[in-house]
Amino acid sequence: MGYDRGLTMFSPEGRLYQVEYALEAVKRGTLAIAFKAKDGAVLVVHKKISTKLMDPSQIHKVYLVDKHVGVAISGLHADARILTDQARLQAAYHRLSYDEDVPVATLVKKICDISQAYSQHGGVRPFGASLMFVGIDEQGPQVFTTSPSGTYFSWIAKAIGFKSDECQDYLKDNYSELKSLEQVKTFAIKTLVKFVDDELTPETVEVGVIPMKSKEFTLLDEDERKGLLAAAGKEAAKDAKAKDK
């Protein structure tokens, strides 16, 4: 009783309830999925449009951090925006200091240092958002996630946000080895369709890709997203027929 009223107060079990509440805010966010491929990495995110009066083109869940790094957000949008801006600043500081692209792991650590600081001081609250980074550096394609607690992990395939636990179980069973970038783009959309309750359209999906060849993160345009949705629909139909047989 009362252990959730102060951020700096541990419960008798050693838990920080305010941090756990922030993690719950992430689980209620929009679903974002990232994949590491043989020749790049892919981010796909669902944009939830609560009313037809909203302009989908002005709602963004995927951002460019640096030319070789992109990020998807889940949780409280305002909190995630601040952390994304900090990631851009850290990438710029690194280039100014060392005249090179910031390694993805180094950038993720910097952001998690900021998140951790907001979990141990009175008068503040944890960031209610998680970031999913994809990029390419000297280590090759990279996928990282951050947590409101300040922890981070590297992944081959990862989902955050709404229904992320069920989606992660699906990825464990269906993404055991790295595929090509082209295969992963279609598979990512098919996975998103499987776990999003709303009907997906090119306006409600954002896709970011970074190929090994160019090492530059780009967002796919509406026509490309429409093509991926059509390809994912065909694959899903084939899988359904095969299952019936």
Residue 237 backbone phi and psi in degrees, to 5: -65, -40
Q: CA–CA separation, 88 vs 213, rounded Å?
A: 23
Please state the rounded mean pLDDT for residues 182-190. 93
Q: Is the pLDDT of residue 1 over 60?
A: no
Please state the domain extents for the chain. Answer: 17-240
Q: Is 198 helix (H, G, I), strand (E, B) or coil?
A: coil
Mark out the alpha helices in 6-134 (DSSP H runs): 17-27, 77-98, 104-117
The CATH homologous superfamily for domain 17-240 is: Aminohydrolase, N-terminal nucleophile (Ntn) domain (3.60.20.10)
Please state the rounded mean pLDDT for residues 209-229. 95
| pLDDT per position as a tens digit, 79-135 | 999 999 999 999 999 999 999 999 999 999 999 999 999 988 878 899 999 999 999
Would you state the structure tokens that stand for residue 26, as one six-digit string?
A: 């992430």
| pLDDT per position as a tens digit, 120-155 | 887 889 999 999 999 999 999 999 999 999 999 999
Angle in degrees, 0-180, between the axes of helices 181-195 and 164-174, rounded to the nearest 10: 140
Write the single-letter amino acid at 188.
A
Q: By the 8 A CB rule, do 109 and 94 touch?
A: no
Q: Is 157 helix (H, G, I), strand (E, B) or coil?
A: strand
Of the candidates 83, 151, 76, 74, the residue with the CA atom closest to the CA atom of residue 119: 151
